[in-house]
Amino acid sequence: MSSAGNLNIVVSIDGGRCLAARVENTRPRAAAVLVGRHVDEVLRMVPVLFSLCGRAQGIAARAAVAAARGEACVPSVEDERAISCEAAQEHLWRLLLDWPTRFGRLPQRVRFAHLHHRLAQVNDTAAAFDVGGVLLDLVAKDLLSGFFLSMREPANLAEFVSATRYGGFVGETLAELIEAGRWTPEGDKVAPLLPPHTAQEW
């Protein structure tokens, strides 16, 4: 959680039913620059103003406007594709840049830049299919390949770590991460785990 502030979601529940929900935002008040502006201008600004996951932020802003107007907002195929590509970019950032450096390994900047660029250029089904295949190859070769060396699944965490090490770059980094053990952030900023509910209960 960022030291710049928190985004707390407070939900009031009675008898298993949600009565109310509110958001407490203690982060820098960047959203204040949106006050008083026309809705269309706000929707153009949000993806730029909140650059982290800008596509998702923009789509969420459109959904918020629709909800305020009492209108339905169903994400389009293009919206879902954009969010998926953006999520893949963020995961690749961690897998190829952030995690390796934490364990004294060289980040794969060129590889990341290539994949990030390809994901940014996805604008139709064919392009999504192509780059999706590249990402599946990454997972198969750099993470799962070690699991194909045995006829049975790992029986415990030690065997799982051993299998990941026989994979490629991502697998080796994941093994280092697991062996580093548990990590708890300083202070009281630990988010509690969600209770074990079924999909129907949620």
* Residues 146 and 165: beta-carbon distance below 8 Å: yes
The C-alpha atoms of residue 122 and residue 134 are separated, in whole angstroms, by 13
* Residues 12 and 21: beta-carbon distance below 8 Å: yes
Residues 30 and 57 in one domain: yes
Region for residue 82 given its phi and psi (left: phi exceeds 0; alpha: psi -120 to 50; beta: otherwise):
alpha
The answer to whether position 187 is within a domain reads no
Residues 52 and 110 in one domain: no
Q: Which helix (H) or strand (E) holds 176?
A: helix 169-179
Residues 83 and 164 in one domain: yes
The answer to whether position 20 is within a domain reads yes
> What pLDDT, in 10s, does the model give residues 48-65?
887 778 888 899 899 989
Residues 122 and 28 in one domain: no
> What pLDDT, in 10s, does the model give residues 66-84?
988 888 888 889 989 999 9
Picking from 13-17, 160-164, 181-185, which range would have the lowest pLDDT averaged per residue?
181-185
Residues 40 and 130 in one domain: no
* Residues 177 and 101: beta-carbon distance below 8 Å: no
- Domain, as residue range, for 93: 77-179
Is the model's pLDDT at 111 over the cut of 90? yes
The answer to whether position 34 is within a domain reads yes
Picking from 111-125, 150-164, 184-198, which range would have the lowest pLDDT averaged per residue?
184-198
The answer to whether position 188 is within a domain reads no
C-alpha atoms less than 13 angstroms from C-alpha of 19 in its C-beta half-sphere: 5
Picking from 45, 68, 91, the residue at the C-terminal end of a domain is 68
Residues 48 and 82 in one domain: no
Number of domains in the chain: 2
Residues 49 and 139 in one domain: no
Model confidence at 187, pLDDT cuts 50, 70, 90, reads: low
Residues 39 and 127 in one domain: no
Is the model's pLDDT at 112 over the cut of 90? yes
Residues 64 and 121 in one domain: no
The answer to whether position 56 is within a domain reads yes
Residues 81 and 171 in one domain: yes
